């Protein structure tokens, strides 16, 4: 079921991404993270079968179950949901990239656990560019300077490799709000690339099933797509 749906949906999604890239000048390569959260392991198998090796999960327990069934190297595992500090030790061996480093405190926990484990954590700093109180992340809705300051502190931590930033736009919003949210995040990304030592400025994770084309037009290099590929979660 999942594989056939993906074989139908993926070419259309890739075409829409390409058209959005062309509208933006075509400079950024865009990677799809297949959001398999809430779907059974069959969705991961289907994603890998059609060439989508980047898979995104929200919860450490669900990620653990799928890694247990699929194997650690079967996919590139992205943790895209909020990570509680008491789950850091369990999470670090499971994922390849964490998109949701949303505070200096969490970054310190990740760095300390990575040092204990003798590994390096690859991650993105999550920012709140829309000003929504329910959203996690460094607040840059009114001013991007807090984002620069947070990146400066986080990038200095040992055992962390910060390759970019991530944001989520409001689920229901006018196009102007979406563009403002994504544009502000891109501005932070570009300024941090110039100002923050050890910030690699490679990954700009913006856009989901409802807004990925606008995100790509605004500079996204990673889109996190679930519903448009796999259908509604059961």
Residues 144-186: tens digit of each pLDDT: 999 999 999 999 999 999 999 999 999 877 999 999 999 999 9
Residue 132: the pLDDT is 87
CB 185 within 8 A of CB 206: yes
Over residues 208-230, mean pLDDT: 97
Q: pTM of the full predicted structure? A: 0.95
Please, which residues have CB within 8 angstroms of residue 129's CB and are 6 or more apart in sequence?
A: 137, 140, 141, 167, 169, 180, 181, 182, 184, 185, 188
Mean pLDDT throughout 5-9? 96
| pLDDT value of position 135 | 87
Q: Where are the domains of the chain?
A: 2-230
Q: What is the structure's pLDDT at 67?
A: 96
**For the domain bounded by 2-230, which CATH number is listed?**
3.20.20.10
The rounded mean pLDDT for the chain is: 95
pLDDT number for residue 210: 95
Q: What is the reported pLDDT for 134? A: 83
Q: How confident is the model at residue 89 (pLDDT cuts 50, 70, 90)?
A: very high
Provide the pLDDT for residue 60: 96
Q: Is the pLDDT of residue 1 over 90?
A: no
Runs of H (alpha helix) within 118-222: 145-155, 175-195, 212-217
Determine the Cα–Cα distance for residues 66 and 77; give it in Å rounded to an integer.
Answer: 10
**CA neighbours closer than 13 Å in the CB half-sphere of residue 216:** 29
- List the beta bridge partners of residue 205: 166, 222
Residue 107 has pLDDT above 80, yes or no: yes
In contact, 149 and 187? CB cutoff 8 Å = no
Q: Percentage of residues in the chain with pLDDT exceeding 90? A: 92
Banded pLDDT at 232 (limits 50, 70, 90):
confident
pLDDT surpasses 80 at 25: yes
pLDDT for residue 167: 97
pLDDT on residue 133? 82
For helices 60-70 and 41-49, angle between their N-to-C axes, nearest 10 degrees: 60
């Amino acid at each position: 079921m999942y594989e056939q749906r993906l074989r139908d949906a993926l070419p259309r999604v890739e075409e829409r991404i390409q058209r959005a890239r062309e509208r933006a000048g075509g400079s950024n390569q865009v990677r799809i993270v297949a959001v398999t959260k809430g779907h059974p392991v069959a969705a991961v198998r289907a994603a890998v079968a059609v060439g989508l090796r980047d898979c995104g999960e929200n919860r450490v327990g669900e990620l653990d179950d799928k890694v247990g069934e699929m194997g650690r190297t079967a996919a590139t595992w992205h943790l895209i949901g909020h990570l509680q500090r008491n789950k850091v030790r369990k999470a670090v061996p499971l994922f390849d990239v964490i998109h949701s480093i949303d505070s200096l405190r969490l970054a310190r926990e990740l760095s300390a656990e990575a040092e204990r484990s003798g590994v390096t954590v690859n991650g993105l700093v999550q920012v709140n560019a829309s000003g929504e109180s329910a959203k996690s992340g460094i607040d840059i809705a009114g001013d991007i300077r807090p984002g620069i300051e947070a990146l400066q502190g986080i990038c200095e931590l040992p055992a962390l490799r910060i390759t970019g930033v991530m944001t989520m736009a409001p689920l229901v919003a006018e196009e102007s709000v979406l563009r403002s949210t994504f544009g502000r995040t891109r501005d932070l990304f570009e300024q941090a690339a110039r100002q923050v030592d050890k910030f690699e400025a490679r990954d700009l994770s913006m856009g989901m099933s409802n807004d990925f084309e606008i995100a790509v037009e605004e500079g996204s290099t990673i889109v996190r797509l679930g519903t448009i590929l796999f259908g509604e979660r059961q």
